[in-house]
A and B are shown apart, each in its own frame.
Chain A
């Protein structure tokens, strides 16, 4: 099965600085890569996703890059704000296949981001 590794496990940045979280995956069949943000006491919430036919995607201060050859993808948060403090998870999914295996996401182990005011 798929193995997703995520680094770093903790990250502290000053408000206004950028934060970068990196993930690698093992299954070359994976072709959908979402990023989830989890605030304390809540369930994860999708913040951005990317598919394998795209190298980069941006949404305001958040961007994700994908390198399929190297099997890694990264989350970039610019101009960080205190409300960005949360745990971030990357995930991978193989969309194609004869059998419908649902949305079997393989998640990374999470990055706890702290933005210091």
Chain B
């Protein structure tokens, strides 16, 4: 069982470039989320999904897009990268509300 798989692990982007962070889970979880982790700020929710075809904004959604065409995949798109998006990004999935969130290993993104 792979759990939650994120790719890539590391990425460097130039300001203005776009890219997609991939997230896949093999636990048949309905709930998936994207968080960013910044020093001294904990984890903040970017976008989340409660099932295929359903997405919504979290606390810090600006500059990011998501889609959920399948139960397994929940990609995060950076439309036009900015230095303020330098962070570590985590994808998480859960069976249902109020249950354990399983996190991926993270993607460390640097925007120069």
Q: Which residues of A does B touch, CB under 8 Å? A: 1, 4, 6, 9, 32, 34, 36, 41-46, 49, 51, 89, 93, 95, 100-110
Contact A104 B48 (CB under 8 A): yes
Q: Are B98 and A107 in contact (CB under 8 A)?
A: no
Contact A104 B58 (CB under 8 A): yes
B50: contacting residue among A45, A100, A107, A109, CB under 8 A: A100
* Contact across chains for B49 and A102 when beta carbons are under 8 A apart: yes
CA distance A25 to B41 in the complex (A): 15
Q: Which residues of B contact A108 (CB under 8 A)?
A: 42
CB distance from B7 to the nearest CB of A (A): 14
Q: Cβ of B48 and Cβ of A107 under 8 Å apart?
A: no
Interface of B is mostly: strand
Question: Apart from A45-B103, A89-B43, A102-B48, what 10 extra A-B contacts exist at CB < 8 Å?
Answer: A41-B106, A43-B90, A43-B104, A46-B100, A89-B42, A100-B97, A102-B94, A103-B94, A109-B41, A109-B42
Query: Does B97 contact A95, Cβ atoms closer than 8 Å?
Result: yes
Question: Number of residues in B with C-beta < 8 Å to the partner?
Answer: 28
Q: How many A-B residue contacts, CB cutoff 8 Å?
A: 74
User: Is the CB–CB distance between A43 and B44 below 8 Å?
Assistant: no
A103 x B42 contact (CB < 8 A) = no
- Nearest A residue to B90 via CB reads A43
Task: Return chain A residues, CB-CB under 8 Å to B50.
Answer: 100-102
Asked if B45 is at the interface of the complex by the 8 Å CB criterion, the answer is yes
